[in-house]
């Protein structure tokens, strides 16, 4: 009988296993990959999403200004705008201005929508237009 076995997992550096401690701890939901969400994002949108996950508080909220986001990630204003627009469109990130008429505001990384990501052809122009 031929049985498939899972490979034995070897931790290369057991002295450096990540742990949640006193410092902040950003995380990415593994369903971003397994449910197809990453396929819908440009490299710039992935970078913005990951950065927002890293700087968010426990509610997923960040108050980095857009110019600071662009500076931290090395993105020009247009690329940052397109990346954020895609994240809003896919309901991965929510936005609320700091106050009425403000050009900057709060970004919240949202829990992933239920189910798999939409088919790229169902979106206007496919991945990141």
Position 3 confidence tier, pLDDT thresholds 50, 70, 90: low
Is 80 within the bounds of a domain? Answer: yes
Q: Tens digit of pLDDT for each residue in 63-115?
A: 999 999 999 999 999 999 999 999 999 999 999 999 999 889 999 999 999 99
Q: Residue 75 sits in a domain of what CATH number?
A: 1.10.10.10
Beta bridge partners of 106: 96
Range of the domain at 47: 27-111
| Count of structural domains, the chain | 1
Helix, strand, coil percent values for the chain (each to nearest 5): 35, 10, 55
Give this prediction's pTM.
0.81
């Amino acid at each position: 009988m031929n049985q498939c076995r899972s490979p034995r997992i070897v931790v290369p550096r057991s002295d450096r296993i990540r742990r949640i401690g006193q410092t902040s701890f950003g995380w990415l939901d593994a369903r971003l990959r397994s449910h197809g969400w990453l396929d819908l994002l440009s490299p710039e949108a992935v970078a913005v999403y990951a950065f927002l996950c890293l700087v968010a508080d426990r509610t997923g909220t960040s108050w980095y200004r857009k110019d600071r986001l662009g500076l931290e990630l090395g993105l020009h204003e247009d690329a940052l705008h397109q990346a954020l627009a895609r994240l809003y469109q896919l309901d991965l990130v929510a936005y609320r201005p700091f106050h009425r008429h403000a050009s900057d505001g709060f970004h919240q990384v949202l829990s992933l929508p239920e189910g798999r990501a939409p088919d790229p052809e169902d979106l206007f122009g496919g991945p990141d237009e």
